[in-house]
Amino acid sequence: MSELETLQEPGAPHVSVLLDEVVSALAAGPGDIVVDGTFGAGGYTRAILATGASVIAFDRDPTVQRFAAEFSAADGRFRLIQDRFSQITAYLEDASADGVTLDLGVSSMQLDEAERGFSFMRDGPLDMRMGADGPTAADLVNELDPVELARILYVYGEEHASRRIASFIVKRRAERPFTRTLDLAHVIERALGGRKGAKVHPATRSFQGLRIAVNAELEELEAGLAAAERVLKPGGRLAVVTFHSLEDRIVKNFLAERAGRTPGGSRHAPPVEAGAPSSFQLISSKAIAPGEAELAVNPRARSSKLRAAVRTQAPVWSAA
């Protein structure tokens, strides 16, 4: 979500991206069970409940519990599980869901809460964890060797000056460790020669790379897509909203593979068996992008893409 922080107005509420398109792709109705794998503030959940369907929501972020209260009157049709969406299969039986939706990346709420450490525009602890466990971004920048740190910035942040930035970080941390977001952002800015009028902050890609590494987001996405394939009924629908090319490439390749359009495999998961019957049918051959009307009221949607597919009766694909 490389453009989110630059475009998001400070204090603006979280707005669910491509909401109408996601609801249309899911085509849920009374009696259906839909998994909202990234609950957040409950935007998708609210719209899905309005169709008469039931929602089982997942979110690893314990702070989202405060948004669940409004759904307590949903006649028992709502349940929030504090866990990663890759763990769907631990709570749902195979072929038990009529829909699964995922809204990836970091939310406006997380950016607005400086103490979470996601923002390079607000000073806070250098954390970046979506959950409550595991290493923080401070652990990575203070402990990783320069080669691995540069790799994270290059692969996950798509930062072409990753080696130079890593060098500046390592040199500065020898004097004192990084503990605050703005401290790191300023060092990255110096490494890149300042802003020079750029619309996108110099630290944008580096912060994205660190956040993805801290939360193992790409591995989580791979596992979550495989879990969705397993829990969806024949005719069940999958709708995934991505915000940057790394996420979108994984979703695009997964669905293309499962629809029989490309050879199996990706760099984040083992190759899948060749020649397996298609387990998904694409709803659209191209990603769905937001319209001008949505962009006018919600700049966060600018880089978003929706990909959706219908589960076939074919067996779940297995790793080769």
Residue ranges of the binding site for S-adenosyl-L-methionine: 42-44, 59, 85, 103, 110
Q: Which amino acid is at 261?
A: R
Q: Which amino acid is at 215?
A: N
Report DSSP state, residue 207.
Answer: H
Q: Is there a contact between 16 and 290 (Cβ–Cβ < 8 Å)?
A: no
Measured from the Cβ of residue 61, the count of other Cβ atoms closer than 10 Å reads 19
- Token readout for 310 is 């219908």
Annotated binding site: 42-44, 59, 85, 103, 110
CA proximity to 24, closest of 205, 230, 237: 237
Q: Which amino acid is at 196?
A: K
Tokens 């991505």 — which residue? 242
Q: Is there a contact between 29 and 53 (Cβ–Cβ < 8 Å)?
A: yes
Rounded Cα distance, 229 and 282, in Å: 13
For residue 275, give every residue at least 6 positions away whose Cβ sits within 8 Å of its Cβ, in sequence order, or none: none
Report DSSP state, residue 280.
Answer: E
